A and B are shown apart, each in its own frame.
Chain A
Amino acid sequence: MFYREAGQFRTTYAQDTQLLPLREDRVGMAFMLIIAFGVIPFVASDYWLSALLIPWLILALVALGQNILMGYAGQLSLGAAGFMAVGAFACYNLILRVDGIPFVVAIALSGVCSALVGIVFGLPSLRIRGLYLAVATLASQFFIVWALDKFGWFKNYDVAGVITAQQIVIFGHTFATPQEKYWVVLVIVAALTWAAKNMARGSIGRGWMAVRDMDVAAEVTGLPLMRTKLQAFAISSFYCGVGGALFAFAYLQTVEPSAFTIELSFRILFMVIIGGLGTILGSFLGAGFILLTPIFLNILFHAIFGKAVDATITSALEQVIFGVMIIAFLIFEPHGLARMWQQTKERLRLWPFPH
């Protein structure tokens, strides 16, 4: 009823290959973008922007990077937070040491730094796979955070341990309020999401998926295995690096190695799994779910127990519920939130005559 492709014919190749072939999708996407750019920044409070929406967008970007590596190219990795740290510190040092570097260039270059590191740590993937590879990527996580902590140059010999991130300055304008930061993050995330969607459905993405499904067979059909795998590592780390730089500059306002722990890597992993492996939409849904659930539980417990119960008990209870939800999710919908959305769309298409 609301959502159907009947009567929409594709008569040219351009129409056939466009990003959103259905009119309903195009309208919906335009509507969402208008709301995201034009409505939310004006109606949402500063708390909503800086504590929920900005981290949501940034983590969705990182989850997208993780999804490229894990969902599309099939390389299980546990080091996303390490690559985020590379991005954050690269951005800090670029702005600090290169006079007058534009912020956007610094962000892009920090993504490139992260991609280079990603290629180095992706090299073992040529020989090992699966869980063994996951443990190998743990090496990158621990090594990167250790190196950033131990070598003073990265932190500009700061002894306090917590470095304040520089201001975001673009074309001479300082983006200081949550509203302005939200716009910066939104533009970058939207552009990179568009790029990811196109990569995923183009020949690059098909290469990744071939490697994921059966790498030996992919190689036999003439796909350069080394290049494809390292490409996935590089692009994934690029996304993580940009996400990490934004995480430090637009969300935390500080640059510190301790923000990029193994727990963050796990959370990003959860986002990808809960959202849906190998889907762009899933990265956003998963990031929202993992970010919002603990906040929601916290508010809920405050409302129920107030101050009557010890905070350590409620936080432990939150953890238990979070864990149970994850397990339940995996049991009942192992393909993630993106699949649920797809099924909803399918129902909408047939409604109100489901047969």
Chain B
Amino acid sequence: MTMLDFQFFIEVLVGGLLSGLMYSLVALGFVLIYKASGVFNFAQGAMVFFAVLSFVGFMELGLPFWGALPVTVVLMVIVGMATERFVLRPLVNQNENTLLMATIGLAFVIEGVAQMVWGVDVRRLDLGIKDEPISWLADKTGVFVSQLDITAGVVAGVMVAALGLLFSRTKVGRGLRAVADDPAAALSIGIPLKHIWMLVWAAAGVVALVAGMLWGARSGVQFALVLLALKALPVLIIGGFTSVPGVIVAGLIVGGSEKLAEVYIGPSFGGGIEGWFPYMLAVLFLLIRPEGLFGEKIIRRV
């Protein structure tokens, strides 16, 4: 392998790893809700789309960046709480399939509302970070890594660290973990279940906004963002539905291997294998570890 090939390999790998972290950000929203309420929230992709579209919409209405941000955060908190109140609370104790369907229905509603209010045009989002290679790194090593990708990676890391601290160090986090373990027991010792669930949905809304802003800056604010939720699924199952660090590791695995496969194996199949490669990878992982890398061991009693 020549030096140039090696540089190219590193570039592909790093690009893949960083975009994998952006998948992780979307998957993080899933994990939050699944951990606390056992709901597989298919509407997370729609929430990402809605959040960033609203953000851009508010900026178009004349709000400055730092004005639009809190407004959108508040909006997402409201959306999250309303979802919990009007969709999931009436469905408590239904089985997994019903809850999954309800969130798919919710995705329809959120996508529809977003397009009704803000229109269907593709918009650009400028975060002030350019999607250009970092020059000093390129000069020194000849490897091109986008600034935006690096920023996304850092943001993802910070979010995960913050959520990890929230889960392990705060009172709210302890409540969350208790609810995740056994909602009935948590309720019986006085943990306010409804508040905890609302909080989680609100947090998922905010995570969706962060993910949406990064993706929007990278590939435009458009309907295709909804499909991100599907790409986050393999990340989710490789990492295990309930593990926050698992999401990051799985994101790195999926992102890195997906890009490498596309560049090195793809051409011999006519390209485009990115579309299904992560899912196949996820199936292979599951065949070896059915609960994902960091998921809780599934114990089944008869």
Contact = CB atoms under 8 A, between A and B. Distances in A.
A211 interface: no
B230 interface: yes
B91 to A, nearest CB: 6
A124 B283 contact: yes
Given A127-B290, A327-B105, A320 B112 contact: yes
B115 interface: yes
Nearest to A130: B96
Interface stretch (B183-191, B198-206, B233-241, B250-258): B233-241
Max chain A CB contacts within 10 Å: which of B97, B100, B107, B282? B97
Given A143-B279, A150-B269, A277 B107 contact: no
A142 interface: yes
A79 B106 CA distance: 21
A128 B233 contact: no
Given A142-B279, A320-B113, A331-B90, A214 B302 contact: yes
A55 B90 CA distance: 34
Interface stretch (B4-12, B16-24, B209-217, B270-278): B270-278
A322 B105 CA distance: 8
Interface in B132-156: none
Given A124-B287, A131-B96, A136-B283, A269 B112 contact: no
B108 interface: yes
A14 interface: no
A128 B236 CA distance: 15
Interface in A318-347: 318-320, 322-327, 330-331, 334
Closest 10 CB pairs of A and B: A323-B108, A139-B279, A326-B105, A319-B112, A320-B112, A323-B109, A142-B276, A316-B115, A316-B116, A143-B276
A134 B42 CA distance: 12
B111 A146 contact: no
B108 A326 contact: yes
Contacts of B119: 312
B112 A317 contact: yes
Contacts of B90: 331
Contacts of B115: 312-313, 316, 319
Contact of A146 (B96, B230, B236, B273): B273
Contacts of A154: none
B48 interface: no
B241 A330 contact: no
A175 interface: no
Contacts of B291: 132
A144 B156 CA distance: 33
B101 A269 contact: yes
Interface of B: 40, 87, 90-91, 94, 96-98, 100-102, 104-113, 115-116, 119-120, 230, 233-234, 236-237, 241, 269-273, 275-276, 279-280, 282-283, 286-287, 290-292, 300, 302
User: Interface residues of B: mostly helix, strand, loop or mixed?
Assistant: helix
B109 A324 contact: yes
A330 B279 contact: no
B108 A322 contact: yes
A327 B39 CA distance: 14
A35 B187 CA distance: 56
A325 B97 CA distance: 17
Interface of A: 70, 76, 124, 127-132, 134-136, 138-139, 142-143, 146, 149-151, 214, 216-217, 220, 262, 266, 269-270, 273, 277, 312-313, 316-320, 322-327, 330-331, 334
Contacts of B113: 316, 320
Contacts of B241: 131
A334 B302 contact: no
Contacts of B272: 146, 149-150
Contacts of B292: 132
Nearest to A317: B116
Contacts of B290: 127-129, 132
B230 A139 contact: no
Given A262-B230, A334-B98, A143 B280 contact: yes
Contacts of A136: 237, 279, 282-283, 286
A67 to B, nearest CB: 12
Given A316-B116, A326-B101, A331-B91, A138 B302 contact: no
Nearest to B83: A327
Given A124-B287, A135-B234, A214-B302, 18 more contacts: A135-B236, A146-B275, A217-B302, A262-B230, A273-B97, A273-B98, A320-B109, A320-B116, A322-B108, A323-B107, A323-B109, A326-B101, A327-B102, A327-B105, A327-B106, A330-B101, A330-B102, A331-B102
22 contacts: A76-B97, A124-B283, A136-B282, A136-B286, A139-B276, A146-B275, A146-B276, A150-B269, A220-B302, A273-B97, A313-B116, A319-B115, A320-B108, A320-B112, A320-B116, A322-B108, A323-B106, A327-B87, A327-B102, A330-B91, A331-B91, A334-B98
A277 B98 CA distance: 10
